[in-house]
Each structure stands twice: as C-alpha cells, then as structure tokens.
Amino acid sequence: VRNFKPDVIGFSCYIWNYKETIKFCDKIKKINPNILIVLGGPCVSSLQYSKEVLKKNPSVDVVVRYDGEVTFYEIIKNLVDSNRNFSNILGITYRNKNKIVANPPRPLLENLDEIPSPYTSGIYEKYILSENSKHLTFFDPTNFLMETSRGCPFNCSYCFEKNRSSGKVRFFSLERVREELNYLSTRVKTINSIYFTDSIINIKKQRLIELCEMLIQKKFRYSHIYFEIRPEILDSEMIENIRKIGNLLVECGIQTTNKKAGTIIHRDFDENAITRNIKAMQEKGIRVVTDLIKGLPGDNLAGLKESLYYNFKLNPDLCVCFTLQIFPGTEIYEMCKKYHCKFDENNFNRIISSDTWSEKDLDRASRLVKLIQNFQYKKNILNFILRYSYLRLVIARTIYNPKAVARSFINKVEQLIGMI
C-alpha cells in the first residue's frame, strides 16, 4: 500500500477471510484514509448485512451486493468522472458522510457473455502467468477455476444462492466455455486441476454432455476435474458422459437423511434416486465425494448417526461432514430465533447449539465424525491411489511437472502423519 499508493482497494469476502479482511482494512486506512475500500462477495452481499458491515466497520467505504463486475466498473468510472458521488450506482451500500445509504438492487445481468473472460481477455496471462507475478507465492497457477453458469433453482435455507439469483440460473454460452478451455489447453503448460464453480453442473443435461465432450480432449486427461452435482437429477446418459472424462471427482450434496431437518432446510432426502445414481457412478469407476452437514435445526445426534450410516453403506471415496455455518443473508440466519440457534462469530459462524442440539451433543458429533473420517480416509486412500485412472494421472504429471508432484506428495505424507 505504501509503495503502490492505490486509490481503491477491493476485497472478496467469504466466511473464511472476512474477519482478517476487516483487520486489513483498518490497517490500510491508518496508512492512508483517502483510499476507497470496497468489499464484495457472498459474505457481505445481503442488503441487511451490507448495512451492518458499514455500521460496525468505519474503515469500509462501499459494499457491493451480489454480482460485482458491472458495479465495480461503475464505481471506478465514477471515481474518475465525478469524485465519489455514488448515488446512481445500483447494487451498492455505501457511506455518505455520516449516513449509510443502500441504493436499489442491480437487475441481474442476463447475458453473462458480456463479462470479459479472465482467460481469453489476457488478464490471467498478464497478472498471474507472467514473470511479474512471481511474488504471488500463495497462489498455485496450475489450479484453475471455471465458471459456466451462475445461480441455482433450489432454495436450501443455509445457502446464499437463493438471495443472489432468486432461483434463476444464468449460463455462459458454450462457445465461450469452449474458447476458455481452448485457451487453457493451448496456452497453459501445466494444468493440475480445473474446479467448476457452478453450483449444480448437471442442471441442464445437454449442456453437461457437451461440456464433457470438451473435457475429453487429450490435454485435460492429466488434470483433476471437479464437478458439484445434485445426484437426484442425474440419469444414465449423463453418468456415461461423465465417466468418459476419466479423472473426475464428483461432489454430491446429501446434507442430511433426517426428514424433519430436510423439511426445515428445504432439501428433502430422495433416497431412491440418490442411492441409484451414486451407485451407478461408482460402478463406472467415477470418484464420488458425499457431503453432510452436522448441527442442522431439526436434526440431532441420533439423526446424524443415521445420515452417517447411510453414507457408510454408500461407501463413497470420501464423506465430508461439515459443521453448519450460519451465513448472514440466508434464510437460516433469519430462522435462528425460531430454532434457538446460537453460533460463534469468532469461529466462522459455526453452530454452537439449538433446540435439538446441545453443546455436548455437537461436541460428541464432532468427535464421532473425526473418528469415522480418519478410518474412512485410511481405508479408502489405498483403493483410491491404486486405481488405474489415478496412476495414469500421477505418471503423466510426474513427467510434465515433477516439482508439483513432489510438493503434493509431501503434503499428503504430512496429512497422514497428522492423522496418526
């Protein structure tokens, strides 16, 4: 900040970096109070919370709510043209002298292709792949994020998607996705992984099939590909196309098998469809990770044990059981009073107790989950690494990028030692 002397600094806020970000903002303002500090990201995007963020943190000047590209551009343009008059910029909450002002929401950008691609526009190359970016030591430039859609038609009460897009899913055109993948396959030397950020990649069957065809290209056969999927809405044709990718890891949200909790979070457990489709993927050798949430309102220790037992029977490559986090701007945040949910603001908003969960039970649940996950990890790691597709991947990566392979091997050994 002292050397570069910026006029504006923007931060992306997620639940995992929000508190640290605020500390940064305070330090920046001490160095130069004239720097405009803009926050964006899911953690600060809800209307109500954006006001609270500004009220509690005098070092923050503007909060951008939800989609940021056009809004951030307008803020910068406005700074250049009219010197901090933000009254006409939609989708922001900001400080105007001593008042906190929330402008009306910005209508959703319908044509996502209007957003310049970070890859094909050359931005990625300029700032991340170039020699000038060597100082970004925290950043592994062999891992890539790809976004082919935004939004989700479901409305799980713990998730912020509903407020962001009111159930609407918007898509980048497949031509653009193809161009981005072409860019990666021709311009980037090592692609360790591609993580698709789409909330539900299988929301449209034909698109998924076309995407799979793009990924079957030779260049991506040596990279890890990650999809987030709703297993209930898969079918055999989708599964067959996913299989062809070969080195794919599919993450399936199950969250809970408990009926009461499922109703509260608007996520009914469709046992037949989930079991059928996960089994079908496993039979075809697709690696599956299932997700559960512990601490949901309506659920309890006995309910969680049933969810874990169901997952155990499914025998996925990994079952991850997260602790419920209560995000501002979600329905569950509003429901806290009704279900007496207490959460810890100093521990990433993790649930502490509720009507159906005592602190003791949550603690027992955490210990149980740790035990099961350790056991499962040790049991499955051998199956996992002996799989043909994985061995092929490791051999190819060792030839292409021996340093990266050595680094990830050391990480894995450290993890294993930590678990023992």
57, 199, 307, 330: which one binds ligand SF4 (CB under 6 A): 199
CB atoms within 10 A of CB 226: 19
Supply 252's token pair: 């399936």
Build a one-symbol-per-residue string for 139-178: x at contacts with ligand SF4 by CB under 6 A, - elsewhere. -------------x-xxx--x-xx----------------
Build a one-symbol-per-residue string for 64-103: x at contacts with ligand B12 by CB under 6 A, - elsewhere. x--xxx--x-------------------------------
What, of ligand B12, ligand SF4, none, does residue 155 touch, CB below 5 to 8 Å by kind?
Answer: ligand SF4
| Footprint (CB under 6 A) of ligand B12, residues 137-196 | 145, 147, 159-161, 195
Q: Does 246 bind ligand B12 (CB under 6 A)?
A: no
Q: Phi, psi at residue 232, to the nearest 5°?
A: -60, -30
What, of ligand SF4, ligand B12, none, does residue 43 touch, CB below 5 to 8 Å by kind?
Answer: ligand B12
| Burial class of residue 28 in the structure, from the number of CB atoms within 10 Å of its CB (0-12 exposed, 13-18 middle, 19+ buried) | middle
Least Cβ distance, residue 190 to ligand B12 (angstroms): 17
Q: Phi, psi at residue 342, to the nearest 5°?
A: -110, 135
Cα–Cα distance between 349 and 107 in angstroms, integer? 29
Least Cβ distance, residue 219 to ligand SF4 (angstroms): 29
Least Cβ distance, residue 343 to ligand B12 (angstroms): 13
Residues 261, 263, 266: CA angle, nearest 5 degrees: 105
Residue 87: left if φ>0, alpha if ψ -120 to 50, beta else—which one?
alpha
Q: Phi, psi at residue 145, to the nearest 5°?
A: -105, 140
Least Cβ distance, residue 332 to ligand B12 (angstroms): 11
Count the site residues for ligand B12 by CB under 6 A: 28
Least Cβ distance, residue 17 to ligand SF4 (angstroms): 20
**Which residues 6+ apart lie within 8 Å of 397 measured at CB?**
190, 192, 222, 404, 405
Distance of CA 278 to the CA centre of its chain: 22
The residues with which 380 forms a beta bridge, in sequence order, are none
Build a one-symbol-per-residue string for 46-85: x at contacts with ligand SF4 by CB under 6 A, - elsewhere. ----------------------------------------
Interface with ligand SF4 by CB under 6 A: which residues? Answer: 152, 154-156, 159, 161-162, 199-200, 253
